[in-house]
Amino acid sequence: MQFTFKYGKKDIKIKLSPENFIGKIEPQEMEGLSDPVQAVREALENPIGSPRLDEIAALKKPGKVVIIVNDLTRVTPYQHMLPPLLAELAEAGVKDGQITFVVATGNHRGHSEQENRELYTEEIAGRYVFINHDCTKDLVSMGRLTDGNELMVNKHVAEADMVITTGLINPHQIAGFSGGRKSIMPGVVSKELITLNHSRMTAPGAKLGNYQDNPVHHMMMEVAGRVGVDFILNAVTNSNREIVKVVAGELEQAWIAGVDVSRKMNMVKLAEQADVVIASAGGYPKDINVYQAQKALTNAAEAVKSGGTVILVAQCPEGFGDSVFEEWTR
């Protein structure tokens, strides 16, 4: 028996004897939409829990609009998502020069201009201003959170008249699901807040697929609420990175609508645990470094017996990806 795993930008094949194989765990795959751009348009025309984007812009008359986008560690179909979003803003009278894109790097490295062109298309990257968030500088205080910690936010986001977030909704190892509020926290806040939020990963509710009683999620929601998100545009994608659902509108309501679809597709029941589990991080960019690739271990740990073995297939061309994480693991 031969199995193919994603490994960086290539595939790797592994052979197994039938007597050693008990099963393969895959998502309950949904087909990609035949016209993803039209799906984005329809989501923008029918926002969840919110007025239309052009109505919000007409009411607020923003001088400065910030659109927050995912970084290269999250493969997001921006070639389908951004053109309809920008067209909607243009129809509302927002000029190109009023729009700034902020890359939600969190504590990851910033992008090069070439990476921006590859991720957000040549046309958009060349037409608009793109700024990499830096969690150590160019931050402003927006007061204190309920736990007393200071809320330090990217100055371009904090000073914007209108904030739009974009992203993907997938199961997340400690936040329950990605997307929505994660564009703000950890996307565009200080290193100290990111560290504090991640430190809550050991709490009982901080786990894959759960957000209701999850302290990591609750902190993210508080931060996003304090910053003020006017509109979100999020997508759910299948394992082929095709859009299966687009949601737009109010931060929490639209996000939850996307979560419901992602949960149905990605959460499966396990028939039995194995002595050995071979897991792929998903290829590039999910295995760009150890910090990203290790997220696959959360799922693999559920599938392996106590005392069993997990083999993680991950290329990690950029090494560990985080110096503190590297020191901790060593």
Which residues are identified as catalytic?
108, 172
| CB-based contact 258:170 (threshold 8 Å) | no
The set of residues, in sequence order, having a beta carbon less than 8 Å from that of 67 and lying 6+ positions away, is 82, 85, 99, 100, 101, 102, 164, 165, 166
- From residue 100, alpha-carbon distances to 44, 94, 104, 105, 171 in Å are 20, 12, 13, 15, 29
Q: Is 166 helix (H, G, I), strand (E, B) or coil?
A: strand
**Buried residues in 162-181 as b, exposed as e (16+ CB within 10 A):** bbbbbbbbbbbbbbbbbbbb
- From residue 186, alpha-carbon distances to 50, 71, 166 in Å are 24, 12, 14
H helices present in 251-295, as ranges:
251-266, 290-293
Q: Residue 10 burial by CB count (10 A; 0-12/13-18/19+): exposed, middle or buried?
A: exposed
State which H helix or E strand residue 247 sits in: strand 243-249
| CB-based contact 104:185 (threshold 8 Å) | no
Q: Which two tokens stand for residue 185?
A: 């926290």
